[in-house]
Structure 1
Amino acid sequence: MGDCVFNVLIQIRFMAKKSMIEREKKRARLVEKYAAKRAELKEEFRTATNPAEKLAIHRQIQKLPRNSAPSRKRNRCWVTGRPRAYYRDFGLSRNVLREWAHEGLLPGVVKSSW
């Protein structure tokens, strides 16, 4: 099976730029690093009643790195790095999903016919 996967990987033509993939990895690291602090500040913000206190907490949240927000993270295919047409169930883009399904590399995936 190892050779099959290797052959399929060679045939893929649609790779994202390496810099974009690395940027996304950096975002993932930042999200993980600041997750606890961000959650703590957001909880303080929810429980605060004084508007001045809320404003101060909001400013602290804004001072966190922009890329540490989970909404900045983009799902990418783990094989090609393609950001669009991403299938969460497999972690693959549609191109790789199609190729691997035809090769029989995805257990339980069959071509639909009706």
Structure 2
Amino acid sequence: MARLILIEKNLKRKNLIKKYQAKRKKLKMLLKDKKLTMDSRLGIQSKLQDLPRSSSRIRYRNRCELTGRARGVYRKFGLSRIKIRELSLSGKLPGVIKSSW
């Protein structure tokens, strides 16, 4: 199981992403506008850099909801491969069955 501080830090990042998502998107769209002068684009770039570093989506890590495991996490379930196997074999995941062919 992942350390509790890592799970909390990731949750804090998720909240920051939600908070600054619209502002960051607006600044990026302005930055891509070729009609603006270079000076105004540099100003926009500095405003983008002034936003918190953790408000960027790239810094968020998908983690298992139950264990906090960072690798082998399925987006559809939000669980790690290990927990998916355990829960599906015990019949606690609806609609998931063991395949055989």
Q: Could you tell me the TM-score, scaled by structure 1's length? A: 0.83
Cα distance, 1:53 vs. partner?
1.4
The residue type equivalent to 1:69 in the other structure is S
**Out of 39, 60, 66, which is 2:25 matched to?**
39
Are 2:83 and 1:64 aligned?
A: no
1:45-60 correspondence to structure 2 within 5 Å: 45-47=31-33, 48-60=35-47
- The residue matched to 1:108 in structure 2 has which SS? coil
Q: CA deviation at 1:49?
A: 2.6
Deviation at 1:39, TM superposition (A): 1.3
Letter of the 2:19 partner, please give it: K
RMSD: 1.1
Query: Unpaired runs of 5+ in structure 1?
Result: 1-14
Residue 83 (str. 1) matches residue 70 (str. 2): yes
SS in 2 for 1:45: helix
What's the counterpart of residue 79 of structure 2?
A: 92
Q: Deviations over 1:40-86 (max 9, x none)?
A: 21122122531221111111111111100011111111111111000
The ranges of structure 1 where at least 4 consecutive aligned residues each deviate by more than 4 angstroms after the TM superposition are none
Q: Normalized against structure 2, the TM-score is what?
A: 0.93
* Cα deviation code 1:80-109 (max 9, x no counterpart): 111100001111001110000101111111
Q: Which residue of 2 aligns with 1:16?
A: 2
- Partner in structure 2 of residue 6 of structure 1: none
Q: Matched residues in 2 for 1:76 and 1:31: separation?
A: 16
